[in-house]
Chains A and B, each alone.
Chain A
């Protein structure tokens, strides 16, 4: 966002601040408030800290009219624009600007130590936020500079998907179920049960709807597609039921025997033998 479009927010307001002319700083040490005429401030007024974008402004204003007396733009803290004195926590040196590229160092002081603390923390918080913003924008810029992975299709590019024999089942969902199978048709066949090849008449009946599932060769030959196909395979009510599965050596023979005793589930055994 362009700087001139950014909002100015107020970080801190202190209604009572003293301003001092200060002697030039000795080059080998920091400022000392004890060198100032602390009991004779050169100006008193209100202090506000505002921020616009990343820059903070310390504004000295008339207590009554609010007219701007002087302001100090601060681009970093701690930095040259705001310095603490070496001998007190209540006094600071700020660099005010006249707007034409000239600046002057003046001393400011708070009678209340808490006000000085607030002043300090307001600036610290603002520049902590600036640091985070800078890091975030740097990271997002690095992300933008990485080559992008383009997984889109090129102009006119096509791909061909081959998904088993799913096309054979198209339209099968709306096919009415044979009555009498009830909820039992949702159950998958027991794994590795004895397999009987369906008689020709049965496979003719279902060839209009689905391709007959592959016959497992062994106990490990079954797969998930067999189970799924069970959902739509019709119970061959209209066809002649195949011979019942031999129960002499079939682990699951009891099921066909038991279900055949229930009248309306008579076609059920023929449903199992397809697998």
Chain B
């Protein structure tokens, strides 16, 4: 999704 272009560096593996 386009959010990755802006916030891509914020994404991390979702903790269980």
Contact = CB atoms under 8 A, between A and B. Distances in A.
Contact of B1 (A42, A69, A95, A103): A69
12 contacts: A43-B3, A68-B2, A70-B3, A70-B7, A71-B1, A96-B7, A98-B1, A98-B3, A98-B4, A103-B14, A104-B10, A104-B11
User: 8 tightest CB-CB pairs across the interface, nearest first?
Assistant: A70-B3, A104-B10, A103-B14, A102-B11, A104-B11, A69-B2, A104-B7, A69-B3
A21 B11 CA distance: 11
Contact of A70 (B1, B12, B13, B14): B1
Nearest to B12: A102
Given A97-B14, A103-B12, A68 B1 contact: yes
Given A21-B7, A42-B7, A43-B6, A101 B13 contact: yes
Interface of B: 1-4, 6-7, 10-14
B2 A67 contact: yes
Q: Per DSSP, are chain A's interface residues mostly helix, strand or loop, or mixed?
A: strand
A20 to B, nearest CB: 10
Interface string A81-121: 00000000000000111110111111000000000000000
A14 B10 CA distance: 25
B3 to A, nearest CB: 3
Interface of A: 21, 42-43, 60, 67-71, 95-99, 101-106
Contact of A42 (B6, B11, B12): B6
A21 B1 contact: no
Contacts of A71: 1
A261 B1 CA distance: 107
